[in-house]
């Protein structure tokens, strides 16, 4: 006995396996105010806000630069040691 295809099978893809629920198409349920009537506020600033991390002396910048150079030097040393250990094993 041969199975006949469903009349809507060409236009609607079918789910494979267990389907948890069905989708109902139609108008949205609930009330959402349109964007034109949404409550908004405009903030007026007389002067721009002060920066949060102001460092006028430059101490933080110099310290951060020195720490970053130290970390980079440490990482390059570890990388160089790794390369040397890999190359020395190949010569044996």
- In the chain (92 residues long), the average pLDDT of successive 10-residue segments reads 58 61 72 70 78 84 96 97 86 57
Tell me how far apart the alpha carbons of residues 32 and 58 are, in angstroms, rounded to a whole number: 51
> Per the domain annotation, does 35 fall within a domain?
no
CA distances in angstroms from 89 to 33, 81, 84, listed in the order given: 72, 12, 9
- Quick check: is 34 in a domain? no
Domain residue limits at 74: 61-92
Tally of structural domains, the chain:
1
Asked whether residue 90 is assigned to any structural domain, the reply reads: yes
Q: Say what the pTM is.
A: 0.41
Residue 76 lies in a domain: yes
Domain assignment present for residue 31? The answer is no
């Amino acid at each position: 006995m041969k199975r006949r295809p469903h009349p809507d099978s060409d236009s609607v893809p079918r789910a494979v396996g267990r389907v948890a629920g069905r989708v109902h198409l139609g108008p949205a349920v609930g009330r959402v105010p349109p964007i034109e009537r949404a409550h908004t506020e405009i903030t007026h600033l007389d002067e721009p806000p002060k920066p949060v991390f102001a460092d006028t002396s430059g101490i933080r910048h110099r310290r951060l630069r020195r720490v970053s150079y130290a970390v980079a030097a440490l990482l390059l040393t570890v990388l160089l040691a790794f390369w040397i250990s890999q190359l020395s094993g190949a010569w044996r």
